[in-house]
Structure 1
Amino acid sequence: MSPFLKRFRDFAYVEWGGIYRDVSFELRTKKLRAVPMTLGACALILALQVIQHSGNTGTAWVNRVGGVYATLPWWKALLRTPLSLFVPDPSLPVWGLIAQVVFMFGIAEMTVGKRHTLGIGLLATLAGTSFARYSLAVGPDGFLGLPVSTLVVRDTGPSAAVVALGVYVACRYRAWWTGGALILAMLVEVVFIVNLAGFEHLTAIVATLLLCGLEGHLRRRREAALRPEPARRTPG
């Protein structure tokens, strides 16, 4: 084996070995039962895609139950947020979206669990929605303000959740190079393609990193509380 291949093998083992071990174990022991939420998410995305392409009535229904806009009242946006996570952009190929969900939701479900996967997906979606509202409030001349034309579009889909889950899994498994590469890719996207999606991806990443930091802090506090205190010397 050449030195380059050996270095890459060692890097891959350190970076992705833990993820590969846990994912392969889940698939080997449970097969499709390892990813019920991921399969359900894919089925829901496909169903909503079919409905919104079935005519004006279907499009209106999808918009009414899962369409989130920066101009909506907060209470209405919050009610629609859970379903908006699975409403695909009608102008994008749904198969690419399904592939992202199968890959990233599947890995997350098998490594950090269903509750974390769904919770982080919702957190990322809410963070993105909050950024859109902030940008609309400050206007195009404000800090991180975007043109109004980019903010009044329907703000749905799992892309922010996919990015956030990638960063979260990387942090949990200490795959620092992978997490860093993902963050760098999102920064490059914002620099070269100024649109709402790119900024929402970055907002989702910031929210995820804050969550990872909070979890790490709480974990260290629990470990410190469980650690036995050193025995005190008695004088004499």
Structure 2
Amino acid sequence: MLHEWRNVVATPCRRLRERGPLGVSLAVIACVAVIGLHEFQQTAAGAGVVRVLSEVRADQPVWLTLLRTPVSLFVPAVDLPAWGGLPRLFLAFALAELLFGRVRTLAVAYAVTLAGTLGARVMIALGPGRLGVPAEAAHTVDTGASAAIVGLFAYTAVAVRSPLLFLAAVVPTVTGSIAEPNLAGREHLIAVAVAMVLGAVSRGAHCQRPLPVSKAADRDVTQDGKAAQDGKVTHDREAGQGGEGGHGAEAGWGRETGEGDSRCRRPAGHGRDGRDPQR
């Protein structure tokens, strides 16, 4: 429980304090895009533009689906309320952005959405049955961020090892998709499966990465090595002075009294002024 609290709540809150509002800029942009495209779609001119840019169906060429999928991710489905899904959209993108960064969040959201869209083509090709869907589903418009939302929650839960997050944010969607096996529900199941695989791969790569050595540790090691080297030099100097015997002591006494080596070289019988006392 403490591990999950730290990974899902404490760490994102700390990074939000460090980065400020820019830490969830992608989540804010996603919400603004959904609201803006929804309102623009309600106008006569905007409906045609949004349809050309974002309408994805299984009867389209694959290349056209690949081009329209990024925009279709932020266009709410016609039969679903746009405002009701905004809290889940913001929470999914904000949590993933704070934990993994903007680039990985966008990559995972696009990957799971595209996987669901391409998976729908496979299920339509299989035909009616346990794994397939009727051919009429090929004409269904497939837009919305629901697959990306549940996919981001599943990816985050697996990557940070949070069963409670998976239970709260992913299991209800999976249960509803199984209870009502339509095309959208099947796409959600595919998105969850792909997100879990991506999360497991990401976590495995993170565990195999070598632990970085902190700067403080490097500084301590450097200081210890320098102290050891200084201690060795001091020891060598003391050993060298001890080997000189009394001469070393006398030379040291001469330096302390200010006479230096001149006292040792003064001719015998001369005073401090250099004169011979017998003269």
Tell me, yes or no, whether TM beats 0.5.
yes
TM-score by length of 2: 0.70
User: Counterparts of 1:1-236 in structure 2 under 5 Å?
Assistant: 11=1, 13-55=2-44, 57-141=45-129, 143-180=130-167, 182-219=169-206, 222-223=209-210
Cα RMSD (Å): 2.0
Q: CA deviation at 1:181?
A: 5.3
3-state SS in 1 of match to 2:85: helix
Could you tell me how far apart the structure 2 residues matched to 1:107 and 1:218 are? 20
Distance 1:18 1:214, change over 3 A: closer
TM-score by length of 1: 0.81
Could you tell me how far apart the structure 2 residues matched to 1:177 and 1:106 are? 18
Offset from partner CA, 1:155-180 (integer Å, 9 cap, x none): 11111111111111111221124325
Q: CA deviation at 1:104?
A: 1.0
Greater Rg by CA: 2
Q: CA deviation at 1:59?
A: 1.4
What is the percent sequence identity of the aligned residues? 33
Q: CA deviation at 1:100?
A: 1.5
Could you tell me how far apart the structure 1 residues matched to 2:72 and 2:56 are? 7
Could you tell me how far apart the structure 1 residues matched to 2:194 and 2:113 are? 10
Could you tell me how far apart the structure 1 residues matched to 2:177 and 2:59 are? 23
**Which range is displaced more, 148-157 or 201-210?**
148-157
Q: CA deviation at 1:191?
A: 2.6
Aligned residues: 211
Could you tell me how far apart the structure 2 residues matched to 1:195 and 1:60 are? 27
> Is contact 2:177–2:188 with CA below 8 Å preserved after alignment?
no
In structure 2, runs of 5+ residues without a counterpart are 211-279
In structure 1, runs of 5+ residues without a counterpart are 1-10, 224-236
User: Which residue identity does 1:61 align to in structure 2?
Assistant: V
Q: CA deviation at 1:119?
A: 0.4
Q: Which runs of 4+ in 1 moved over 6 A?
A: none
Q: CA deviation at 1:183?
A: 4.5
**Which range is displaced more, 79-88 or 92-101?**
92-101
